[in-house]
Amino acid sequence: MPPRPYVVLSCATSADGYLDDASPQRLILSGPADLDRVDEVRAGCDAILVGAQTVRQDNPRLLIRDPRRSARRAARGLPAHPARVTLTATGDLDPQARFFAPGALRLVYCATPALGRARARLGDSAVLIDAGDPLSLDFMLTDLAERSMARVLVEGGAQVLGEFLTRDLADELTLAVAPFFVAAPAAPRLNLPASAPAPASAPAPAPASAPALAANPDPVANPDSPASPMTLAEVSRVGEVGLLRYLLGPGGPEHRYLRWAVELSRLCPPSDSAFSVGAVIVGEDGEVLATGFSREQEDHDHAEEVALRKLAAGKRGPADPRLRHATLYSSLVPCGARASRPLTCVQHIVAAGIPRVVFAWREPPLFTDGEGAEQLRAADVAVTEVPELAGRARAINAHLVGSGA
């Protein structure tokens, strides 16, 4: 069974947190630069999911706009556009909606009681899937994984985003914050359950290096509360929009950075003679210093090497002092032997002075002896292995090592 897809939630909000205004017309919250950013994000996904109300109300196309991005997907053997996915309890969908236009696979997850109605309305304009009574998001994600949808972008609306957040089913949340207010209490905002009253002395937010948090024990409570905040991974400006990217999901910051590193490995140009690996370097204060993935810049690149090279090219140069207190997260243990270049990743890490490495998957003895963890420890680098995430890292390399355990 493939792991559930990596789920990215994405929405644009006003500065006071609204996803729309209360008028019948759709409020445009993003500018051209942000729409182009979303287009790039879409191009990196296997499926785009929106709620049935967004299909009815906004009638989105859910296509990649830039033909060069579609062409790049096609060159990698992918469909030109990601699949379009929606979910419904009523089956009340119009086959004339743009969602059902040709050009991309259409999947409709429907609660069992509404299947007949949905089938009668939609005919063969979409693949209709019985998702249980009540509709099960877990079933939907498992089914998407079985259909080779490894990365799913959830673009709204308020109810669907709220459900993914509340049920702790998302790995990232991207908020594009527009530079204006909406101030319309009837307009939609992220639909989260009301918080329980805060305890008299709420615990301080966990630092980036905090120990792993348990998975949300109560799926109806908001897991990303002040006591267990999301992990801020990016703050940037895109045109007039402020972009905030958070990492979410169980395991706290440690597992979130590592899941992201694993996810980055999906971006690697394919190779029959080298692993696909992702790496993230995080400073002491939780700031993401650099990311990298195998073959990102040159043919023989290793992920850790690329991330360190990017940092060395920055204004602080190769001896960036932040590295002395940083943690390097890698989907695969850093290499301790290498044929393609003179320096191993272990040597790069030790030379950079990075004191701590966290990895998911111990290298099988396919290309080298895989003793990177022991070499790092011998060089006084603290090493943490997170075997719970090894299956994800391995699945991305199934073409090299098979899909078995």
Ligand X SMILES: NC(=O)c1ccc[n+]([C@@H]2O[C@H](COP(=O)([O-])OP(=O)(O)OC[C@H]3O[C@@H](n4cnc5c(N)ncnc54)[C@H](OP(=O)(O)O)[C@@H]3O)[C@@H](O)[C@H]2O)c1
- SS3 of 292-304: the string is EECCCCCCCCCHH
Q: Pick between residue 73 and residue 189 the one whose CB is nearest to ligand X.
A: 189
Q: 108 or 393, CB closer to ligand X?
A: 108
Which candidate, 2, 12, 5, 4, places its Cα nearest to that of 242?
12
Q: CA 241, CA 14: separation in Å to the nearest integer?
A: 10
Closest approach of ligand X to the CB of residue 43, in Å: 18
Task: Estimate the crossing angle of helix 32-43 against helix 67-75, to 10 degrees.
Answer: 10
The two structure tokens encoding residue 154? 């959830």
- Distance between CA atoms of 47 and 150, rounded to whole angstroms? 8
Q: Pick between residue 118 and residue 264 the one whose CB is nearest to ligand X.
A: 118
Q: Where along the sequence are the contacts to ligand X (CB under 6 A)?
A: 11-12, 19-20, 26, 29, 50-54, 57-58, 87-90, 92, 111, 135, 137, 155-160, 163, 188, 191
Between 57 and 347, name the residue whose CB sits nearer to ligand X.
57
Minimal distance, residue 118 CB to ligand X, in Å: 9
Nearer to ligand X, 12 or 381 (CB): 12
State the minimum distance, in angstroms, from the CB of residue 164 to ligand X.
9
Tell the smallest beta-carbon distance from residue 157 to ligand X (Å): 2
H helices of 290-341, where? 303-312
- CB of 379 within 8 A of CB of 350? yes
CB of 15 to ligand X, least distance (A): 13
Per the structure block, which two tokens stand in for 304? 């850790």
CB of 111 or CB of 393, closer to ligand X: 111
Judged by CB, which is closer to ligand X: 30, or 375? 30
| Shortest Å distance, C-beta 288 to ligand X | 24
Q: Least Å distance between CB 259 and ligand X?
A: 24
For 8, 118, 221, 307, 312, the CA distances from 352, given in Å and listed in that order, are 32, 59, 42, 11, 10
Angle of CA points 287, 293, 295, to nearest 5°: 145
Q: Which residue has tokens 């509404």?
A: 114
